[in-house]
């Protein structure tokens, strides 16, 4: 695990964009895994800038998103597909059929997860997976005590995760109680992992992930076992590392 600390979240995001851009330039047919939320936004803004400046070409890129809420249609403003279209995909020259996000209104969510996992494997796997880290150490929607071998699956969200996502909805009761998420096993099959963590509220989770032994109670700690991982922190998120 290679850790880099930056002065602020903008610099951390731009560093992530640099790594993703390098992947695209080195392999124009890359398969990329993306995450949602406020943390990766600076990275997506930089990727858009690089694309609009003619540096990046997405025409042969394939993408898979980590997760999607169950019960939220793709055109809902809080769906993760809508988030990705608004903040990245609508602004770059990626082919619509190359964008993969779980179908939140699939008739059978469990079958949708199986199909999603098959689709990832049919591409020969994800070359670079972008991750964030939840306050309770979750990655994707893999909550504490999720088995490290888990593949794409339906998840019951914890109260902590529901509370963290409530700011995106009118009221907390509107937040879905389930999601479909790549499993930890799926994530660990990526050839490279880039994690961005920003903000003081994540400092304790960062410390658990980095300083403590690998533990299912902190799902993010599993990346200690990955051979090619970069963790990008801003200074507030890195504060607790002084006490490792």
The residues carrying an active-site annotation are 67, 136, 138, 143
Return the C-alpha torsion angle 87, 132, 55, 50, nearest 10. Answer: 50
Inter-residue contact 27 to 244 (CB < 8 Å):
no
Q: What angle do the packed helices 9-26 and 41-52 form, to 10 degrees?
A: 50
Residue with token string 């640099």: 18
Q: Which neighbouring-strand residues pair with 231?
A: 3, 195
End-to-end CA distance of the chain: 15
């Amino acid at each position: 695990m290679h850790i880099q600390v930056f002065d602020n979240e903008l610099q951390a995001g731009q560093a992530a964009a640099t790594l993703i851009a390098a992947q695209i330039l080195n392999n124009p047919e890359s398969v990329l895994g993306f995450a949602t939320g406020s943390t990766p936004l600076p990275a997506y803004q930089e990727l858009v800038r690089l694309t609009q400046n003619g540096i990046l070409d997405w025409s042969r890129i394939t993408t898979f998103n980590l997760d999607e809420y169950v019960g939220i249609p793709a055109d809902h403003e809080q769906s993760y597909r809508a988030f990705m279209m608004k903040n990245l995909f609508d602004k770059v020259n990626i082919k619509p059929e190359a964008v993969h996000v779980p179908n939140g209104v699939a008739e059978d969510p469990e079958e949708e997860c199986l199909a999603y996992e098959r689709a990832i494997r049919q591409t020969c796997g994800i070359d670079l997976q972008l991750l964030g880290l939840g306050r309770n150490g979750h990655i994707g929607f893999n909550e504490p005590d999720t088995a490290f071998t888990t593949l794409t699956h339906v998840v019951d969200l914890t109260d902590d995760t529901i509370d963290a996502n409530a700011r995106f909805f009118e009221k907390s009761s509107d937040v879905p109680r389930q999601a479909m998420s790549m499993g930890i096993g799926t994530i660990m099959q990526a050839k490279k992992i880039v994690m961005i963590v920003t903000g003081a509220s994540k400092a304790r989770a960062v410390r658990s992930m980095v300083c403590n032994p690998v533990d299912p109670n902190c799902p993010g700690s599993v990346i200690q076992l990955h051979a090619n991982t970069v963790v990008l922190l801003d200074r507030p998120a890195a504060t607790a590392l002084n006490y490792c």
